[in-house]
Every structure is written in C-alpha cells, then in structure tokens.
Amino acid sequence: MIASAWVLTAAHCIAQDQVERGYRVRLGTLDARNGGVTYRIDRMVRHGGYIVGTADGPPLNDIALVHFVADDQTNPSAADHTPQPIRLNGTRAGDRIVGPGADVTVTGWGKNKSGPGARFSPVLRQADLQTVSCDSAPDYRGKTSDAMLCAAAPGEDACQGDSGGPLILTSGEPVLIGIVSWGMGCGEANHPGLYVRIDRSHYIDWIARAMKSDPKLNRLN
C-alpha cells in the first residue's frame, strides 16, 4: 500500500477481468490463511507500455496500480495490525538512485522453491539480498534496461507467487525501491531476481499521474 486506497503491484499480476470478477485486496495480516481486512478492488491502472515477459526475457514496464474501496465484507477490526503506506524511493530530496551493493529485503507469500513439489507459503516470508548489476548475469545481458533492478544472495530469492511484492532498503525507514517482476528459477546462481526500479527517474511521475487519472481509464502511458 503506497497511499490511502492504492496498492502498487506488477502489471502481470492484475487484469481488468479480475476487477470485474470481484477480486479483493487483503491488508493487515502476516498470515494469508486468515486475519486481515479485505477491500473490493474497483479499479486498476496498468502501464500503457507494458509488454508481457517470456521465459527468456523480462517484461517491460511491469507496473500497475490497484484502487480499493470498503464494502459490506470489509471489517477493519479484523486486521492484526493497522496497514500503513510505504514511502516510495525518490519522493524526498535525499533519496538516492540505488546501485549495486545495497542491502535490500524482499517479502512475499510465494513458493519456497521452483520446480515440482514447490508450495506457496501461508505466512509472510522475507529474504535479505544485495543489489547487483543485471549484466553480471550472462543470461540477462542485453535483455534488461535501466528501469530494472537486480538483487541476489546465495540460495535466497523471490519466487513464483511473490510477483508484485516489495523490495525495500533493509536499514532505516522502510522505503520501496522495487517491485518483484521476473527471474530465471528461484535462488539459482547467476540468476538474480529482477525488479521494477522505483526512484525519481523511474515511475514516480507515472504513479502520481495514474492516481490522478480519469477513473474510466485502466491503462496509462
């Protein structure tokens, strides 16, 4: 959650038909099985330049916003803790453009490994990583852009089901610097996780414009 009634996610995690089918946002819990307060999604805004990724290459502009509203299923007292918006990197004068070597943390309810037998986690898990150059991975060279951020640690990674989740700076105030987007396998050597980069040069302006855009729009360049 980045603002009142707005959640930031990956474009490949949300589609207009899911809004129309009554999908919901759950906030305020660390356990996906129960607890937390849910809200109805009434709108999505996907980046107009989004291009679907493949097994060989990441998606482009993999970013979207979800707007939610309370309804008769919303029970704020069910939250285990009060949801608080996270600040976006690039919204303060002292914020830096994150390069290689930064300590970062990713969280999610995704699978515990790739391949057969992998299970989604019922509780929120985290992995402590370091940012790396995306070009340090031979299989990624020529496939990434400066709007992407890579992070890795031995045996640690985001995985399937973590997409759209947050990558934050590990120390100090929680600051969102990336969105889980793509990767080859999970925790494999030379295959870091790839994230949508959030900073003053990447998507901050788009996020602000999307939140102010005509509610009839579900795409914005």
Q: Which residues pair with 193 in a beta bridge?
A: 151
Cα separation, 172 vs 84, whole angstroms: 16
Q: What is the pLDDT of residues 70-115, one digit of tens each?
A: 999 999 999 999 999 999 999 999 999 999 999 999 999 999 888 8
User: Tens digit of pLDDT for each residue in 19-40?
Assistant: 999 999 999 999 988 889 999 9
Q: Is the pLDDT of residue 18 over 90?
A: yes
Q: Say whether 103 is catalytic.
A: no
Contact 203, 177 (CB under 8 A): no
* Predicted model pTM: 0.96
The pLDDT value given to residue 113: 84
Tell me the C-alpha distance between 183 and 60, whole Å.
13
Residue among 67, 157, 162, 163 flagged as catalytic: 163
Active-site residue flag, 95: no
Q: Does the active-site annotation cover 77?
A: no
Pick the catalytic residue from 12, 47, 67, 191: 12
pLDDT value of residue 35? 84
The token pair at 6 is 């707005």
- What is the helix (H) or strand (E) element at residue 207, kind and residue range? helix 204-212
Q: Tell me which of 62, 95, 162, 199 is the catalytic residue.
A: 62
What pLDDT is stored for residue 112 in this prediction?
85
The pLDDT of residue 74 is 97
Residue tagged 């070597």 (tokens):
101
